[in-house]
Chain A
Amino acid sequence: MDALRLIQYSSRNQCVLSVVLHILELCARPLDIPKTAKTSPQKGRISLTFTEMARSLAGFLVLVLVASICEGSSLFQPISDSHRSAALELFTLDHGSFESLEETYEALRTFQILGMEKKPDVTAAACRFISETVGSSSSTPKDLFYALKANSIAECKIHEKASKGIISSLNAAVRGASSLLDFYYSVGGLVLIKDQSTKADIHLADAEGVFRSVKALSQSDGRWRYSSNNPESSAFAAGIALETLAGIVSLASSELDQSLISTLKNDISKLFDSIEKYDDGTLYFNDKLVDGHEYQGPLSTTSSVLRGLTAFAAVTTGNLNLPGDKILGLAKFFLGIGVPGDAKDFFYQIDALACLESNRVSIPLILSLPSTVLSLTKKDSLKVRVTTVFGSNAPPLAVKLVGAFSSGSKDASLVASQELKFDQVSGLHILNDFSKSIDVGSYTFVFEVVLQEPEDEKVYVTGSQTKVPIFVTGHIKIENSEIVILDSDLGSIESQKKLDLAGKNAASLSANHLQKLRLSFQLTTPRGHAFKPHQAFLKLRHESEVEHIFVVENSGKQFELVLNFLGLVEKFFYLSGKYDMELTVGDAIMENSLLVAIGHIELDLPEAPEKAPRPPPQPVDPYSRYGPKAEITHIFRAPEKRPPQELSLAFLGLTILPLLGFLIGLLRLGVNMRNFPAKPVPATFGVLFHVGIGAVLLLYVFFWLKLDLFQTLKTLGFLGVFLVFVGHGVLSHLAAASAKLKSA
């Protein structure tokens, strides 16, 4: 629901925008380069003088004052065709029918209020739904209520038998009702069927008793509770209760006790005491957010209260004594929403405005302008329209322009109080020649509406004074524009070119760092006053796309910019060459804002010293920065140079040679196997020992060829244990034999 607040605030954005523009203007001041040579040539520092700072502070104080004037100046437009086209888009059939009877009713009612042609398939779908609900005996009072509500618009036929059944079930519901919503649906249903069926004698049996039971749920602050068990009260429930009570009064067979009605009027005044207010003068009802499910936002709450109020006012005599300003504030609340995006919000808005359009309390009249921007060149006249919320004609009245105040000052009104002429044909109040004393600028016009028939004052409410922000635009004269190159020391003019800022220019100048450039022109409003636009810039762009922007200062009507190149050499990054010159003069109220290329200037600047700052890198095209980069071809490590295979094989042969040498040497030494044990057991051990060693060496060969370490270690474990056994056996035998020999 906070989105609604944003939408409402958008109606005052014109005021906010002007305030923001003024702030920006004041902030732009630090960019200025002082005209005098206060900048030291070496450093080129820009310093704000004390007077300039004081000026900007004073400007800021004026802003605060302007903001206070801005309060309350906003424009509300009555319902227009944009609402009708939005309604067609929002209320669409989902698979040929609406989700529920409630939605069916909302769609039909919206189309009816806006005066749109009911689509035939909508009516057909609605009739199907209605007859289904009405015929079924298991329909709850809520279903019957919405079915009858939809039927009051769709006008489908209901059978006599069905309507008899409805009446009896609703009467039973009234007798058995305990909560507010039970009463609402049953009483409301009876009211509707009374209008729709041929039988005219539907009455509430014990009207006063029902009235009191509903009244019992009220609270002292004007709100209502939903049931006696639930302590939470809301204004939404109050609206429902008022509608129910209005229904009871209309169904009562005899006059109800007047004291009951007057206490109810007191409750209504108390309820209106709890009304809440926005800054722009709109009023609304809102409930505290207690439970997410039960919470109804300000829109539905205010809509419900209005419905209840107008229903009650319709059935009672006498005045409700509500101040008309409150009704006007409620009307502004609904109009300030604009076009809601949700079907339910749309219905609430349109239904509430329909209640305001014709009711017995007071009918609000809205002052609106077809256009708030007036052009002096086109000699626009000020047009004002006063209508009801739906744009229907108002009673005879006169619109007076009480005053026109300039947005930036608190001076007296610029125009005298005068009445606008009413044009019967168009329905507009027009003022033609107000513009003699009004110059271009932004203003706040104050209007007052005066009803011509005194009886109308009881029926309609117009509000006191309406403040409307108006923009007056016009053609600004640009004169005496010229660009001059001066000698820095002597001030003598080297070259001078007159510019025609309205047409094409191609001035071609050249300067070096010892000279100055002076650009000057005059701006005059249509009425001959001085004019300070929002934007007055000169842009110098180098060939390498480096840009420099300077603000053109003014004193009165004369605008002048002096660029002393001696002080700007470092700012320009010592870039010599051709600079394109472009002048921008613009404002919201200037009809001929311009952005023109003046020409070129060839600047000759000295060479950059070692430590000079480089120009900033120009923004890279984002597509190229984030686009695909150059492909990298990976260079794999070149394989090592291997020796030729023959050489390797030759050396392999050479390696075998020492082994052969060893074997030959063994033979020469005369090795023998005499020490090999003779007995069978040690002999086998010996054999197995050699076999085991051979097996281990074979395992190592396999390890090198294909096995991995774990497999090798596993096998080696087994072989090692075996080898230890047999080795121990044979070696211990040999040791014993040699010991025996030694001892012997």
Chain B
Amino acid sequence: MAREKSSKDNAQALFHSLRSAYAATPVNLKIIDLYVGFAVFTALIQVVYMASVGSFPFNSFLSGVLSCVGTAVLAVCLRIQVNKENKEFKDLPPERAFADFVLCNLVLHLVIMNFLG
């Protein structure tokens, strides 16, 4: 019983420390995180829909889910490149990374629109 209480306390303490650490991240990174969350959520809702009604226009389902997942992945890439604490991309200007992000998104969505049917 003491051990349970301590584990619950440990979990709470962990959660709080995570929250405070996260609050320290820069705002632009938080925007990107929010975007990724939004994309993943949309994908989840589409999967739930397909699970309930069947996958009849399978290509449409795939393109919808892939659009969300693809844009999430690109956003994650952008976050990696923009993050100042990441030494690997020190010399890459963030505007350049953003331009890449926009371009890749546009290409991804062209393909998605073609596959949507």
Chain A residues at the B interface, C-beta cutoff of 8 Å: 640-643, 647-648, 651, 654-655, 657-659, 661-662, 665-666, 669-671, 693, 696-697, 700, 703-704, 709, 712, 716, 720, 727-728, 731-732, 734-735, 738-739
Contact = CB atoms under 8 A, between A and B. Distances in A.
27 contacts: A640-B54, A640-B56, A642-B56, A647-B53, A655-B42, A655-B45, A657-B45, A658-B37, A658-B39, A658-B42, A658-B45, A659-B38, A659-B42, A666-B31, A669-B34, A693-B106, A700-B110, A703-B110, A704-B113, A709-B114, A727-B102, A728-B99, A731-B95, A732-B95, A734-B95, A735-B93, A735-B95
A668 to B, nearest CB: 9
Contacts of B46: 655
B41 interface: yes
A697 B109 contact: yes
B14 interface: no
A322 to B, nearest CB: 102
Contacts of A712: 110, 113
Contact of B34 (A640, A647, A655, A662): A662
A731 B45 contact: no
A731 B41 contact: no
A738 B102 CA distance: 20
A703 B115 CA distance: 11
A279 B2 CA distance: 134
A696 B38 contact: no
Nearest to A671: B31
A670 B38 CA distance: 17
Given A651-B45, A665-B34, A670 B93 contact: no
B38 A662 contact: yes
Interface string B48-60: 1100111010000
Contacts of A703: 110, 113-114
Contacts, number: 81
B17 to A, nearest CB: 21
Nearest to B34: A665
A693 B102 CA distance: 9
B27 interface: yes
B93 A669 contact: no
A727 B99 contact: yes
Contacts of B106: 693, 696, 720
Describe A's contact surface by its main secondary structure: helix
A731 B96 contact: yes
Contacts of B31: 666, 669, 671
A731 B99 contact: yes
Interface of B: 27, 30-31, 34-35, 37-39, 41-42, 45-46, 48-49, 52-54, 56, 93-96, 98-99, 102, 106, 109-110, 113-114, 116
B42 to A, nearest CB: 5
B38 A700 contact: no
Nearest to A662: B38
Contacts of A704: 113, 116
B38 A716 contact: no
Given A658-B45, A704-B113, A727-B102, A735 B96 contact: yes
Contacts of B96: 731, 735
Nearest to B112: A700
Given A641-B56, A647-B52, 15 more contacts: A640-B54, A643-B53, A662-B34, A662-B35, A669-B27, A669-B30, A669-B31, A671-B31, A700-B109, A703-B114, A712-B110, A716-B110, A731-B99, A732-B95, A738-B94
A720 B56 CA distance: 34
Given A651-B45, A671-B31, A700-B109, A658 B38 contact: yes
Contacts of A665: 34, 37-38
B50 to A, nearest CB: 10
A705 to B, nearest CB: 10
Contact of B98 (A640, A657, A697, A731): A731
A665 B38 CA distance: 10
A662 B40 CA distance: 11
B27 A670 contact: yes
Closest 4 CB pairs of A and B: A643-B53, A662-B38, A658-B41, A731-B95
A198 to B, nearest CB: 109
Nearest to B27: A669
Given A727-B99, A727-B102, A641 B110 contact: no
